[in-house]
Amino acid sequence: MVTESIEALSQRAREAMEQRNWEKARQYYLQALGLKSDSPEVHQGLATVCFQLRDLPSAAYHFKEVTRLDPLRAGAYINLGAVYNLLGQLDDAIPVLRRGIQLDAHRPEGHYNLALVYRRKGQNDHAIQAYRDALRANPRMTDAHLNIANLYAEKEQYRLAIAHYKRTLELRPNWEKAKNGLAEAEAALAAQDQPAQLAPMNAPPKAPEPAPAGPGAADRHVDPNVHGVLLSTLHKAALESESHNRHFLKVIEAEIEPAIKDLSSYLLHPGSSASDLDHCVQKFENAVQSMRSAQRNLQSSIERLRTIGDKLFQS
């Protein structure tokens, strides 16, 4: 009986793969491997077939053999990292995927699979960065848009989430997951921006109204010798409140207004990169967070001023 060549066996294997006869393809590749055990092409084919058969340990073994025999093949590292992720070998997956990205940074699947691993490890900031890298390589990668939108929603950065949900639906209309995510993010943003929870952005919180005079209020007399400590504390609290008020207005002028201007400019004249929109929205989110922090400090100082004043006039 004449033994078939590696080329003939590999061709038979590829034909079986086209017919989705994975087990038959594996048998042909195993025969070819028996003739030449150091062929990266045969190991690549076997890895692919084993993956389709859900024999993940074998797929990992053969992809690893490809990286050993052909250490500059970026796709083999990326595929190996993806299989490691499915096997739960997350710490093994990260360096392998990074090596694949190092060899070919323009392959979006490398960044995407790295993001999946970081997501499973709970390192969401790293996952977001990896998804952004994937979108730089392929701005039309719908799964990356959806996944990064979900992460932004979890971080309560709803404007960024909404932008990516909308982009997902532009690329894949009527995708239920994206439609549901968008609806939830828009509802959460609306609740977050309720006037009862947040004062208008263009004005600091109102100072407290004077307390109504109680019985005998007209007869009260503030004596510096008696109330000296309270008067000193009240003075410091007033200065602190004034400082917080100036800081609040400065944030509005120096951060909120430029962020709104940049975002409006982008929306009127969109750039070609998803990262440009991310940058504008992130700048606005950061500005809003700064404003809220300044507002909380101002409200806290006003409450302290009110409390000290009450103590003074009740003493």
**Measured between alpha carbons, how far is 290 from 287 in angstroms, rounded to an integer?**
5
pLDDT reported for residue 52 = 95
Q: Under a CB-based contact definition with an 8 Å cutoff, are residues 115 and 130 in contact?
A: yes
Contact partners, residue 261, CB within 8 Å, separation at least 6: none
Query: Two tokens at 235?
Result: 């003075």
Residue 306 to residue 234: CA distance in whole angstroms = 9
What tens digit of pLDDT does each residue of 175-213 get? 999 999 999 999 999 888 775 444 455 555 554 444 444
List helix spans (H) across the chain.
6-18, 22-35, 40-52, 56-69, 74-87, 90-103, 108-120, 124-137, 142-154, 158-171, 176-192, 224-251, 257-268, 274-314
Specify whether the CB–CB gap between 185 and 161 falls below 8 A: yes
Q: Using one digit for the tens of pLDDT, what is the confidence trace for 2-46?
A: 468 999 999 999 999 999 999 999 999 999 999 999 999 999 999
Residues 58-76 pLDDT 10s? 999 999 999 999 999 999 9
Task: Tell me which architecture the domain covering 6-192 has in CATH.
Answer: Alpha Horseshoe (1.25)
